[in-house]
Structures are given as structure tokens and as C-alpha cells.
């Protein structure tokens, strides 16, 4: 059965983004209901939403054309998640003080599902102490606030107040829909992406890692209730919301950050593709092209996974192994030599697995078992990995 997302739209120029949000949700297979305020219909015609959702848009609490006898209660019972995007200062003020004078506020207060509010308004309205107090009340009542972003506003001003980007809205919805908070109270430390080892001011050694697997794990761990710290090398990915994010460049940077934070972690996941070697020396000026060949002298970088395996106490440690041959045999050897509790093995030889793909094909190895998975999205695989890590953590504590 499809999960139902209720999207509330208030009277703000940012309402145009709601059309794309609804379209994206429908494409993902959700059953979407839309409730608009009267003012919102001045910005966006209800027909645009109706053509996407195949549901009639709700505006008037006393509309007799609907089939529901008590419409706001029926929608409230149906909803798996309620998001208001954009949410004006007026809407926010009303819901935190229990004012139900239209279809949107009435239904919002009648719902007991996860509720998300994405403010959008003029900068001075947003920063007004009254609005900030009301947003604090929203959080007190358990509403998830998707903070606005800075930019050029419709009024001509520049500053904070623009509706959050669509990917941030979608990410918040995905987080809100995950009910099993099996990692609540746990601290999860994850590294991701490539590292860069500088040769000179122009060149560096690196690899093809996109960081997608590590970022997917960070989002999934957050969705499952964990307090997440993500240490990332240079990746062209947006920072996940509601996590602690640390940006690094080199393998040594990664070692410093991971070794500084691992003692506080309950679960550590090393998904980064860390350079094994770095130039022995750095040239402060660009190395000029010459007629002869050029040789670089390389030295080993710190073995972060081995260090964590040797020094862990209460932590559950998960490593990754990207292989091109003898995948399982090499993976089992790495599992033991690095003292991991779980090792995720994937092969560059399998189509749809490895670097830069949105999918992966993985085998999970522990000292006692081997679990093989067919191709799936990295998002989906992340939940399989984290559920296994939670089981291993529970068994060891």
C-alpha cells in the first residue's frame, strides 16, 4: 500500500517549488494529497496539483463537493507524513497557538504523523523574534523545521528566507518516514569519498570514488535515529542535513579526524577510498614538463582501518573492500587482519557496482557468516548494512 504524503501550501511566492515537490513525490510512488490556503491559490492554481496527484485539492473546510463526511479527520488519519512547504509566518504562528481557522491548519493539528514545516518569507520576518520564538515552539511540539536558505528574495532583498532546496525537502521527508529508530542514542562515525595527495600546487594523486556510498550510509544512519558524524574527502555531493560534517583533503587529514573522534563513537564505518600512498615531498612550485620521464617517490599513508581495529574498545567497526579479483578471499583476509566486525565487499568487475554508480552489489562478511546481495541502490544497501551493525552492536553489549 502506498504511503500517503500530505503537502500543505501557503500563500508565498515559493509555492511554485511545491509543484515540483509534489511531482517528485508522485514519481517516487507516494499517494499525495494537497491542501492549500486561499492565499496560496493566488500564486498557484489548484488544477496544477490535481493534474499531478489525481486528487482534488482541498482549500475550503466547508466544501460540500468532497466525498469525506469529516474531511480534515479523514485526511489526518490517512497521512503517513505531513509537510507544509512553503510555510508562511502567519501559518507558523497559528499552528503553534492552536488556531484552526482554515482547512490546512485544521488538518495539520488533527494529524499525529510526523510533521515538517519549511518556512519561506522575507528575511526580516524570518529573523523577527516573534517568528523565531514560534519556530522554537514548533520544535518543542515535535515538528521538524526545514530551515530556509539565503538568496535573492521576491521582494528584492537578499538574505535568509528562501524555501529550502527540493533535495533538502525530499531528504527531510525520507527521514520523517523512517519509523524504526533502531540507532537512537547511538553515535555513528562514517568516512566517505576520496582523498587527495598533493604533488605540487596543480596536481594531486587520487581515485574515482564519488562518496555516494558513504553519504548514503550517513543519511540512513540519521534516518534510523543515530547521531552521525561524516568525515568526507572532496566529493561533489550535497552535505546531508542534520549531521555533523567535517571536510578533509588528504589521507593524513582523514587519519587525524578519525583518530580524534573514534573513542566517542558506538559504530564506525570506513567507506572512504583513502590513498595508500602519498608523495614523499611536496613541490611548492609547479613541476615543469621536461624531455625526460618523471619519477615520483611515494610513501605509505596511515592505515586508518587497521589503527581503528587495533584500538577499538566498545565500538563496532565496519570496513569496505573494493576488489578486482578473489573478492571474497581477499575480503575475509582483510576482515581478520584489520580486526573488523563487518566487512562490505564489492567488485569493480560487476556492472552496476563500485565507483560513481547509484547502485551496488555487495557481500557482507563477519567472522561467522557471509551475506550476498543482488544489485540494489546504495540507499537501500545502507539500511541492510546498518541493521546488521545494530545487531552486532546489541550482541556485544
Residue 265 in contact with residue 186, Cβ under 8 Å? Answer: no
Same-domain check for residues 256 and 338: yes
Same-domain check for residues 115 and 26: yes
Same-domain check for residues 127 and 251: no
Confidence of residue 152 (pLDDT cuts 50, 70, 90): confident
pLDDT above 90 for 357 = no
Confidence of residue 69 (pLDDT cuts 50, 70, 90): very low
Inside any domain, residue 182: no
Task: Say which residue the cell 587497521 belongs to.
Answer: 306
Mean pLDDT of 56-69: 67
| pLDDT at 123 (0 to 100) | 94
Residue 49 in contact with residue 58, Cβ under 8 Å? Answer: no
> To which H or E segment does residue 34 belong?
strand 31-36
Query: What is the rounded CA–CA span in Å between residue 365 and residue 379?
Result: 19
Domain span including residue 303:
187-396
Same-domain check for residues 351 and 220: yes
Same-domain check for residues 99 and 231: no
Same-domain check for residues 207 and 171: no
Same-domain check for residues 193 and 162: no
Same-domain check for residues 165 and 200: no
- Domain harbouring 250, CATH code: 3.40.50.10300
Which residues, in sequence order, are CB contacts of 150 under 8 Å at separation 6+?
Answer: 158, 159, 160, 161, 162
| pLDDT at 68 (0 to 100) | 47
Which segment of 68-72, 222-226, 258-262, 324-328 scores lowest on mean pLDDT? 68-72
Active-site residue, from 111, 155, 318, 340: 155
Same-domain check for residues 221 and 142: no
Mean pLDDT of 157-181: 93
Same-domain check for residues 167 and 197: no
pLDDT above 90 for 156 = no
pLDDT above 70 for 64 = no
Q: Which residue has the higher pLDDT, 63 or 102?
A: 102
Q: Looking at the 3D structure of the chain, how many domains does it have?
A: 2
| pLDDT at 157 (0 to 100) | 75
| pLDDT at 91 (0 to 100) | 98
| The three grid cell numbers given for residue 1, joined into one nine-digit string | 500500500
Inside any domain, residue 106: yes
The pLDDT tens digits for 202-227 are 999 999 999 999 999 999 999 999 99
Inside any domain, residue 126: yes
3-state SS assignment for residue 291: coil
Domain boundary (142, 159, 177) is at 177
Which segment of 110-124, 132-146, 149-163 scores lowest on mean pLDDT? 149-163
Domain boundary (125, 159, 177) is at 177
| pLDDT at 63 (0 to 100) | 59
Residue 232 in contact with residue 246, Cβ under 8 Å? Answer: yes
Same-domain check for residues 162 and 210: no
| pLDDT at 291 (0 to 100) | 85
| The three grid cell numbers given for residue 263, joined into one nine-digit string | 573513542
Is 155 an annotated catalytic residue? yes
pLDDT above 50 for 62 = yes
Percent of the chain scoring above 70 in pLDDT: 96
Domain boundary (128, 156, 177) is at 177
- Domain harbouring 154, CATH code: 3.40.50.1950
Inside any domain, residue 155: yes
Confidence of residue 34 (pLDDT cuts 50, 70, 90): very high
The pLDDT tens digits for 110-136 are 999 999 999 999 999 999 999 999 999
Amino acid at each position: 500500500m502506498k504511503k500517503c504524503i500530505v503537502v500543505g501550501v501557503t500563500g508565498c511566492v515559493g509555492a511554485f517549488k511545491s509543484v515540483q515537490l509534489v511531482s517528485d513525490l508522485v514519481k517516487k510512488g507516494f499517494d499525495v494529497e494537497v491542501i492549500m490556503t486561499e492565499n496560496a491559490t493566488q500564486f498557484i492554481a489548484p488544477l496544477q496539483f490535481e493534474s499531478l496527484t489525481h486528487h482534488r485539492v482541498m482549500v475550503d473546510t466547508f466544501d460540500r463537493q468532497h466525498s469525506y463526511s469529516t474531511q480534515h479527520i479523514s485526511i489526518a488519519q490517512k497521512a503517513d507524513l505531513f509537510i507544509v512547504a512553503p510555510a508562511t509566518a502567519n501559518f507558523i504562528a497559528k499552528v503553534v497557538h492552536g488556531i484552526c481557522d482554515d482547512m490546512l491548519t485544521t488538518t495539520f493539528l488533527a494529524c499525529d504523523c510526523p510533521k515538517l514545516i519549511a518556512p519561506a518569507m522575507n528575511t526580516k520576518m524570518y529573523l523577527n523574534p516573534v517568528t523565531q520564538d514560534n519556530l522554537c515552539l514548533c520544535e518543542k511540539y515535535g515538528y521538524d523545521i526545514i530551515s530556509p536558505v539565503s538568496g535573492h528574495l521576491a521582494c528584492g532583498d537578499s538574505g535568509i528566507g528562501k524555501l529550502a532546496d527540493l533535495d533538502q525537502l525530499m531528504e527531510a521527508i525520507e527521514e520523517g518516514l523512517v519509523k524504526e529508530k533502531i540507532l537512537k542514542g547511538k553515535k555513528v562515525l562514517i568516512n566517505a569519498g576520496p582523498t587527495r595527495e598533493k604533488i605540487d600546487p596543480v596536481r594531486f594523486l587520487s581515485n574515482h570514488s564519488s562518496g555516494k556510498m558513504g553519504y548514503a550510509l550517513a543519511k540512513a544512519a540519521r534516518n534510523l535515529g543515530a547521531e552521525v558524524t561524516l568525515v568526507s574527502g572532496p566529493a561533489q555531493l550535497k552535505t546531508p542535513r542534520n549531521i555533523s560534517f567535517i571536510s578533509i583533503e588528504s589521507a593524513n587529514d582523514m587519519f587525524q579526524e578519525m583518530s580524534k573522534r573514534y573513542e566517542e563513537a558506538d559504530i564506525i564505518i570506513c567507506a572512504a577510498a583513502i590513498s595508500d600512498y602519498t608523495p614523499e615531498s611536496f613541490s611548492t612550485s609547479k613541476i615543469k614538463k621536461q624531455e625526460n620521464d618523471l619519477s615520483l617517490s611515494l610513501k605509505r599513508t596511515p592505515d586508518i582501518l587497521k589503527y581503528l581495529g587495533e584500538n577499538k574498545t566498545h565500538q563496532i567497526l565496519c570496513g569496505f573492500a573494493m576488489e578486482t579479483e578473489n573478492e571474497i578471499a581477499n575480503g575475509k583476509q582483510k576482515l581478520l587482519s584489520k580486526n573488523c566486525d563487518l566487512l562490505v565487499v564489492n567488485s569493480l568487475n560487476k556492472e552496476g557496482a563500485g565507483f560513481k554508480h547509484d547502485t551496488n552489489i555487495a557481500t557482507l562478511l563477519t567472522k561467522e557468516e557471509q551475506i550476498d546481495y543482488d544489485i540494489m541502490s546504495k540507499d537501500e544497501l545502507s539500511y541492510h548494512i546498518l541493521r546488521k551493525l545494530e545487531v552486532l552492536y546489541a550482541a556485544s553489549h
